Amino acid sequence: MEVVGQEENGEHVNKGSELGKSCASDPLIYQLVRVEGDGTLVPATEDEVMQFGHLLDDGKVEDLPSVEDISKVESFIPANVLCTGKSDLKGLSQSENIMKDKQKLETNLEDANNPNKPDKNPASQDISAETTQNSTVVNNAQASETEKTDATSTPAIDNPPDMTTVGSKPNFSLLTKDEICLDGLSIRELQEVFLATFGRQTNVKDKSWLKRRIAMGLTKSCKVPTSNFIIKDKQIVPKEGGAQYEENLQESCETESPQEFTRKRVRNANWNFENPVSLEEDSSTSKRMRKPTKRYIEELSSLDNREESMRLASLFVRNNHDRPVRSRVSQNREIGSNGAAFRTRNDSLGGFQVQVPFASRARRCRPRKNLVAFMPHTDSLLVEDENIMQEGQTEKPTRKIRASTHKNRQLKDIPDKQEKENQEETVAESDEVPEMSPDEAQSGGENAHDSNHDECESVPKGSHVRRKHHRAWTLCEVLKLVEGVARYGAGRWSEIRRLSFASYSYRTSVDLKDKWRNLLKASMAHPSVEREGKHTRKPASLPIPTSILLRVRELAELHAQAGSESPTNKSTPVHGRKVVQGKGSGFL
């Protein structure tokens, strides 16, 4: 699922797509929908609404380059409440900042909303309200900033945000006239009118765009010609050239088949991520900026530190000296589908304003294995996918894809502070291990005893998402491992894991096997392993008591014997354990 996508990719959610020809209806009603592969429009789920609703408020949608595009892409229209043309209203967000001086319009919008509200889940309304507030704050704070940022994040941008355009104070007197004719106005004047109309500045210099936007804002209609009209009493009135007016009107509201519309809509939606490049030109002929290639995104994602990726991304951005790069990366709070808040950031990926999970670029833990699973079927926009996919919602390993290996290798070595904390924690925990009674360690150890140990490692139970990067083995765990081997036999790792490590969810059978291998190695290499009484400690990281190593060795020998005589008898090792224990060290 994506914010914007290619039609071929199956289902995508296009923000602000409307149903059918609502273009012709007034007041404007829009709905967030998902575009299925066959071109049909399906109402967005609440999750999607929540995830994408804020995008509709982005100031950047104001700066779209093409008048023609706008006429068909209603999401760019300032009338900002999105409802369904049918009866299933979805609570969606509005950009109040645009509307703050247009209370009348707001009233209309409420009217449009109310009739349908009751049949909707109240929760969605709450969330929608929250989203609205949230985005409103953001927008108010960033309205002008966003615009400038957008304008500067494209290399080919032609109009740096010089403040010579308009003042920041809206001049509402511009709108108080009975008749407003935009045709004779200069760009600057149009920008002032724009400011008065929408309450925010623009540096767009496309006259027709400005005129149309203003007209749409003032008339609450998308039936706006490009020129030769005046605005009288909030209505479009054709000037002398009535014919052309009709013509323009026809052009802008021409009806299309849903499929055709969808195609255009999807295509046009790409502008959302781009900028009003070359507004002066005819927008239909202006070239778009190239989307980042798969390779490019991959490389970006591989950068270990965020600054690095930001710096790289900024290479694609015309640097406006005084503007810190940081301004392009802002954190937002999002409401996830599970109700939990997760962080995202607005990141300019090669000039594209995309939202990615806050930690997705610089993964602190092992990278998601199926990261590239998105790639085969999409040649673009997979970054948005990352945004949608809650971490670990799908954790099916796709190990076959070899390409991911290198990336994983690169990413997985990122130092993890939290992990280090965990290590310290576990080391501290290991100090209390010796207090453990033998009985606890041997018998009760399976379930009950360890339940308190269980989550002391600060790994949330529910999310096995955060896969371990490195977790030091505690003495307790080692003991359990040795116990498990003694009881069930070396090699029966899954069984040991199941029975002795039930509470250590993060230890897999492979981990046990690896650890046992290491223990074995250590025990064999240990110089004073013969002297069991001696507790000469290896200066190594986590000193394993000699006694344990001794026992490991004995178990190994025993296992070798048992392996030769009766490899399949799993009850035999028990007697071996007793032998070992009897022989053994005083550590238990």
Partner DNA sequence: TTTAGGG
Partner DNA sequence: CCCTAAA
Which residues lie near DNA (CB under 7 A)?
A: 366, 369, 399, 402, 405, 408, 412, 467-471, 473, 491-495, 506, 509-511, 513-514
Gyration radius of the chain's alpha carbons: 32
Q: How far is the CB of 393 from DNA (least distance, A)?
A: 17
The angle subtended at Cα 140 by Cα 138 and Cα 142, nearest 5°, is: 65
Q: How far is the CB of 113 from DNA (least distance, A)?
A: 47
Structure tokens at 60: 């950047």
Q: How far is the CB of 52 from DNA (least distance, A)?
A: 32
Rounded-to-integer distance, Cα 204 and Cα 202, Å = 5
Burial class (CB in 10 A: 0-12, 13-18, 19+), 439: exposed
Q: How far is the CB of 284 from DNA (least distance, A)?
A: 47
Q: How far is the CB of 296 from DNA (least distance, A)?
A: 22
Check if the beta carbon of residue 111 is closer than 8 Å to that of residue 315.
no
Q: How far is the CB of 369 from DNA (least distance, A)?
A: 6
Query: Given the complex with DNA, which of 238 and 491 has the nearer CB atom?
Result: 491
Query: Given the complex with DNA, which of 281 and 514 has the nearer CB atom?
Result: 514
Structure tokens at 388: 């949608």
Query: Given the complex with DNA, which of 196 and 485 has the nearer CB atom?
Result: 485
- With CA atoms as reference, report the closest residue to 126 among 203, 53, 69: 53
Q: How far is the CB of 357 from DNA (least distance, A)?
A: 20
Query: Given the complex with DNA, which of 306 and 366 has the nearer CB atom?
Result: 366
Burial class (CB in 10 A: 0-12, 13-18, 19+), 237: middle
Q: How far is the CB of 376 from DNA (least distance, A)?
A: 16
Query: Given the complex with DNA, which of 38 and 424 has the nearer CB atom?
Result: 424
Query: Given the complex with DNA, which of 304 and 514 has the nearer CB atom?
Result: 514
Check if the beta carbon of residue 151 is closer than 8 Å to that of residue 275.
yes
User: What is the DSSP-derived secondary structure letter of residue 378?
Assistant: -
Query: Given the complex with DNA, which of 109 and 481 has the nearer CB atom?
Result: 481
Rounded-to-integer distance, Cα 573 and Cα 490, Å = 9
Query: Given the complex with DNA, which of 89 and 485 has the nearer CB atom?
Result: 485
Buried/exposed code over 315-342 (b: 16+ C-beta within 10 A; e: otherwise): ebbeebeebeeeebbbeeebbebeeeeb
Check if the beta carbon of residue 177 is closer than 8 Å to that of residue 202.
no
Query: Given the complex with DNA, which of 393 and 536 has the nearer CB atom?
Result: 393
Q: How far is the CB of 467 from DNA (least distance, A)?
A: 5
Rounded-to-integer distance, Cα 293 and Cα 315, Å = 15
The angle subtended at Cα 226 by Cα 224 and Cα 232, nearest 5°, is: 55
